[in-house]
Amino acid sequence: MSYTVHGTSTSGNCHKVRMALDILRLPCEWREVDILQGETRTPEFLAMNPNGKVPVLAIDGTTFLAESNAILWFLAEGTPLVPSDRLARAQVLQWLFFEQYSHEPAIAVARFIRCFLKKPDDPRLPELARRGDRALAVMERHLSDRSYFAGDTLTIADLALFAYTHKAADGGFVLENYPAVSAWLARCRGAPGVTEMPTP
Amino acid sequence: MSYTVHGTSTSGNCHKVRMALDILRLPCEWREVDILQGETRTPEFLAMNPNGKVPVLAIDGTTFLAESNAILWFLAEGTPLVPSDRLARAQVLQWLFFEQYSHEPAIAVARFIRCFLKKPDDPRLPELARRGDRALAVMERHLSDRSYFAGDTLTIADLALFAYTHKAADGGFVLENYPAVSAWLARCRGAPGVTEMPTP
């Protein structure tokens, strides 16, 4: 199978896909998409993903898969990045859904408002800060007695949560307040293929 | 394995789990949780799910799985509700993540504000209406030339999206504007185990 990612290098949702491709040594063409220039709203892009969001994985140029965490699962199922045990697989999914529902909409959006839109006085920021700190507190509690989110080794749950957490300071969050999260971030950074996301 | 669901019968995220249990004929104890009375914020509940959300699936009384769509996957993997083909599985996940990111935070939250909080003048409603209609339009486009969300038969992607879509009118949405979505809802209702969610 040949892969093309239509993605934005400074987006955490896209960066997690890039890390999975790198860790799994899967060859892939990367086509850069400029969200701020409306490139996810063109008819060509909407034909790939009617929801108008990056990343999109094109498979053999004819099949298109959207939603970053679904792409992670597709690429990594059958590798050590997705456990084979049924319960452990569901626990990976639990954290992938946590990331998309409780983490990304606060921490990534706060970063987007501050770093892309450059609006540090945006009225949405206090509520996003409150929700983002709540998500970080949930992660802190979970990581207080374990090394990775699901099982004893790095999985796609870690890659998904690493993507925006390691840049949470961009959204105004203070990672020093979360020692277990900070230790986990250092652990992730030690894994081959885990890389820093480019700054906007 | 013995299952207990800690859930709220009028919550779509919980109703989808109930439908999966019914379709798969899995025996399960249901413990009703009253969100409005703060029952997801007690130390006992947070010990099961530090994120303080229903549903939680207790497995043999000792292991706790959160996030409705992760619970669906756990219950249904290996049954006809989850395809065996790798791409089809990822497409199921794509729609599960769409549901949690682009659909539920608009359509379920609008319903919650109108039906549970009883605040039809809440200032958040216009933006939620805009986002919910966008999600319904994405579904309408996808269903224009197919019967179910992933593959030719009912999967957990359909159960997840059915949960809040069939009650979207509670949130102020006009389903008659979406004929393909309405036809799919009728198709889902014809499947054994697919049931109406109780009204608050």
The reply to whether A163 and A136 lie within a common domain is yes
**B66 contacts in A (CB within 8 Å)?**
94, 98
Q: How many domains does chain A have?
A: 2
CB B5 within 8 A of CB B57: yes
Identify the burial level of B185 via C-beta atoms within 10 angstroms of its C-beta, where 0-12 means exposed, 13-18 middle and 19 or more buried.
buried
Domain extent at residue B146:
86-189
**B142 contacts in A (CB within 8 Å)?**
50
List, for residues B102-131, the tens digit of each pLDDT value. Answer: 999 999 999 999 999 999 999 999 999 999
The residue among A26, A93, A109, A181 with the most chain B CBs within 10 A of its CB, best to mutate, is A93
The reply to whether A101 and A160 lie within a common domain is yes
CB–CB contact B71 A90 (8 Å): yes
List, for residues A4-57, the tens digit of each pLDDT value. Answer: 999 999 999 999 999 999 999 999 999 999 999 999 999 999 999 999 999 999
Residue B200's pLDDT is 80
Question: Which sign does the torsion angle of CA A193, A48, A105, A68 carry?
Answer: negative
Domain final position from B39, B56, B76? B76
pLDDT surpassing 90 at residue A1: no
The reply to whether B99 and B173 lie within a common domain is yes
Within a domain: B198:
no
The pLDDT confidence band at residue A199, using thresholds 50, 70 and 90, is confident
For range B25-35, the mean pLDDT: 97
For residue B48, what are the CA distances in angstroms to A81, B6, B54, B57, B164?
Answer: 25, 10, 10, 9, 25
Residue A200's pLDDT is 80
Average pLDDT along chain B: 97
As given in the structure block, the two tokens for residue B78 are 């290996």
Q: State the amino acid at position B139 in one-letter form.
A: M
CB–CB contact B86 A67 (8 Å): no
Q: What percent of chain B has pLDDT over 90?
A: 98
Residue where the block lists tokens 């590798």 = A79
The reply to whether B93 and B56 lie within a common domain is no
Domain final position from A27, A58, A76? A76
CATH code of B54's domain? 3.40.30.10
Q: What percent of chain A has pLDDT over 90?
A: 98
CB B170 within 8 A of CB B198: no
Q: Cα angle vertex A100, ends A131, A173, to 5°?
A: 35
The pLDDT confidence band at residue B1, using thresholds 50, 70 and 90, is confident
Within a domain: A197:
no
The reply to whether B105 and B149 lie within a common domain is yes
**A150 contacts in B (CB within 8 Å)?**
none
pTM above 0.95, yes or no: yes
For residue B11, what are the CA distances in angstroms to A63, A101, A177, B15, B18?
Answer: 34, 16, 34, 6, 11
CB–CB contact A65 B101 (8 Å): no
CB–CB contact A141 B50 (8 Å): yes
List, for residues B152-172, the tens digit of each pLDDT value. Answer: 999 999 999 999 999 999 999
CB–CB contact B73 A90 (8 Å): yes
As given in the structure block, the two tokens for residue A29 are 């063409």
Within a domain: A200:
no
Residue B186's pLDDT is 98
The reply to whether A11 and A51 lie within a common domain is yes
List, for residues A162-191, the tens digit of each pLDDT value. Answer: 999 999 999 999 999 999 999 999 999 999
Nearest C-alpha in A relative to B72: A90
For range B78-82, the mean pLDDT: 97
Q: Is B55 helix (H, G, I), strand (E, B) or coil?
A: coil
What one-character-per-residue DSSP string does B113-134 give? Answer: IIIIS--TT-TTHHHHHHHHHH
As given in the structure block, the two tokens for residue B200 are 């608050």
Within a domain: A196:
no
**A74 contacts in B (CB within 8 Å)?**
86-87, 89-90, 93
CATH code of A97's domain? 1.20.1050.10
For range A135-152, the mean pLDDT: 97
Go through chain A and tell me how many residues it has.
Answer: 200
| ipTM value > 0.85 | yes
Residue A111's pLDDT is 97
Strands B3-7 and A63-66: unpaired
Q: CA-CA distance, A188 to A160, in Å (whole number)?
A: 11
pLDDT surpassing 90 at residue A117: yes
For range B37-53, the mean pLDDT: 97
